[in-house]
A and B are shown apart, each in its own frame.
Chain A
Amino acid sequence: MCIGVPMQVVRAEPFQAWCKGADGEGMVDMRLVGSQPEGTWVLTFLGAAREVLEPERAAQIQAALAGLRDAMAGHYDPAAAFADLVDREPQLPDFLREPT
């Protein structure tokens, strides 16, 4: 699926950069975005940086991916995830509610 992963530049090199993200660290191909200074957030996919991210955007994507990881691990909390998108009181779907 079209899911990119935000990573932060730790050490920049001419065509690539050592980056860290929620799933660990690794070398990232920087040809599409150019050399970026330490601390820059980039959206990575299949080992290549696709876009430079503002920190706020990186945090939003990371929160979405954290929700997905929780769902994969079986402990997603829909009442807590994406709270900034919901003006009203969030509600659990029926199948996640405790029987009363």
Chain B
Amino acid sequence: MSTNIGTAELLIRCGISSETIVSVSITPRPLLPVERLALGKPPEAVPTLFGRLFSLCPKAHAKAAARALEDALDISVSPNLERLRDLQTTVERVRELSLNLLLASDGRISPWPPRLITLCRRLIAALGGDAVHWPAAPFEPNAAELRVGATELEALVSHLLGGLWHTPQPDLEAVRHWLEHDTCAAVAWMRPALQPGWPDFGRCSVKGLPMFTDAMLEAALGPGVARVNSDSPEWTGEPRETGCLVRQSSDRLVREASSVYGNGLFTRMLARIVELKCLARTLIRDIEHLGPIGSDPSPLPRHGTGVAQTEAARGRLMHRVEVAGGLVRGYRILAPTEWNFHPRGLVYRALLGTTVGDADSAGARIDAFLHVVDPCVDFRLILERAERPASPAEG
């Protein structure tokens, strides 16, 4: 196994014949032994530990770890503390959605990304910072800082989304008008999806990952017969999708786009825009109404097993922990990438049988599709000429 942590890439190999993808082979990325770092640690250390390790989305991992540990140790926390954790992960998702959009849309240095990064850091600190994951003493969110931050956030997201931010309930026609006339960063990012052959590129049939109960989580992550594979997870016998499109599938605009383009590139990109707008509005509204937190001085049992799930920017994140003798003895993390890049899952189904044109066109569209499914996955794409068309059952 390579010890270069930053390049744990997955390999996607597509065979093309007569301008059609006739074979797809997905080699899952090597799984890193991240869970091992928690073993032997006291529970209170684990949320911060994973927050340091998963430094791109530390709040999602810290929240999932804290909730799994509280489930294991039968600790109940106040609803207001839960709200702070949720708002921190919302800030994190707004940041990731915005940065991935900015990184892909603009080749110039702009003052907006550093402002956004700084603002998100300030908001998370005002929402309690690391203390929310294992509060040792009472604390309060910084209401004044949050009010100032909400105003700044509105200006930043308004800049990113342009006219769409101010349109209460846009329909598809309004989106098309926005794409043709606006000059904001979101339009610069999404406009390629209007090119011929792009809007429904990757259209396929794949079910969304349902919201799991604790029993379902334990079945999927625990040692029982329903335990899912870490590199090719399935639920009820089939691969599932998780992420923005699944989360926004009930949104009226996303449903309208789906009726025209299915779950292809246009709808996927639109779902990310819709989610960014929705999360920012939720954040601006909710940080005005936070209550006192207090502390949660529950006694710590020394044994138990717990599970938790949370929505990270890329999709559903699942944690399971076993505590014995006051220390972590077992841990398991299932990340969204493993669902979406299952060897026979979303990406496989989206690409196999798709008409792609010449090699340049194929590469650009496949690359755009993979980035909208998961902008944070390190992949290597290989396009090769296939000798003959394969049947749909072949990979």
Contact = CB atoms under 8 A, between A and B. Distances in A.
Interface of A: 1-5, 14-15, 23, 29-35, 43-46, 48, 50-52, 60-61, 63-65, 67-69, 71-73, 76, 78-79, 81-82, 85-88, 90-94, 96
A76 B39 CA distance: 11
Contact of B40 (A35, A50, A91): A91
Given A68-B34, A76-B36, A93-B39, A1 B99 contact: no
B110 A31 contact: yes
Given A3-B6, A72-B32, A73-B3, A88 B42 contact: yes
A96 B80 CA distance: 40
Interface stretch (B53-61, B260-268, B272-280, B355-363): B53-61
B104 to A, nearest CB: 10
B56 A64 contact: no
Contacts of A35: 109
Given A2-B55, A3-B54, A73-B3, A85 B49 contact: yes
A50 B314 CA distance: 16
How many chain B residues sit at the interface, stated as a range, is: 35 or more
A40 B41 CA distance: 32
A51 B33 contact: no
A68 B54 CA distance: 11
A18 B376 CA distance: 22
Contacts of A34: 109, 111, 113-114
Contact of B117 (A4, A30, A33, A72): A33
Given A64-B37, A68-B5, A96-B40, A46 B327 contact: no
Interface string B1-21: 101111010000000000000
B125 to A, nearest CB: 12
A1 B32 contact: yes
A64 B39 contact: no
Nearest to A46: B378
Interface of B: 1, 3-6, 8, 32-34, 36-37, 39-42, 45, 48-49, 52-57, 60-61, 99, 102-103, 106-111, 113-114, 117, 121, 312, 314, 327, 329, 335, 337, 376, 378
B48 A85 contact: yes
8 contacts: A15-B109, A64-B52, A71-B32, A72-B33, A78-B39, A78-B40, A78-B41, A79-B40
Contact of A2 (B4, B40, B376): B376
A69 B34 CA distance: 10
Contact of B5 (A23, A31, A48): A23
A4 B42 contact: no
Contacts of A64: 37, 49, 52-53, 55
A32 B113 contact: yes
Given A46-B378, A76-B36, A85 B41 contact: yes
A61 B41 contact: no
Given A1-B8, A45-B56, A67-B37, A32 B99 contact: yes
A16 to B, nearest CB: 10
Given A32-B103, A93-B39, A82 B49 contact: yes
A5 B5 CA distance: 8
Given A3-B54, A32-B102, A64-B53, A82 B42 contact: no
Given A3-B55, A76-B36, A69 B3 contact: yes
Given A3-B6, A32-B113, 17 more contacts: A2-B61, A3-B5, A3-B55, A5-B6, A23-B6, A31-B107, A34-B114, A43-B56, A45-B376, A60-B52, A64-B37, A68-B5, A68-B34, A71-B33, A76-B33, A76-B36, A78-B36
B69 to A, nearest CB: 14
Given A31-B108, A32-B117, A85-B45, A63 B33 contact: no
A31 B376 contact: no
B137 to A, nearest CB: 14
Given A76-B37, A93-B40, A33 B56 contact: no
A71 B113 CA distance: 35
A33 B118 CA distance: 10
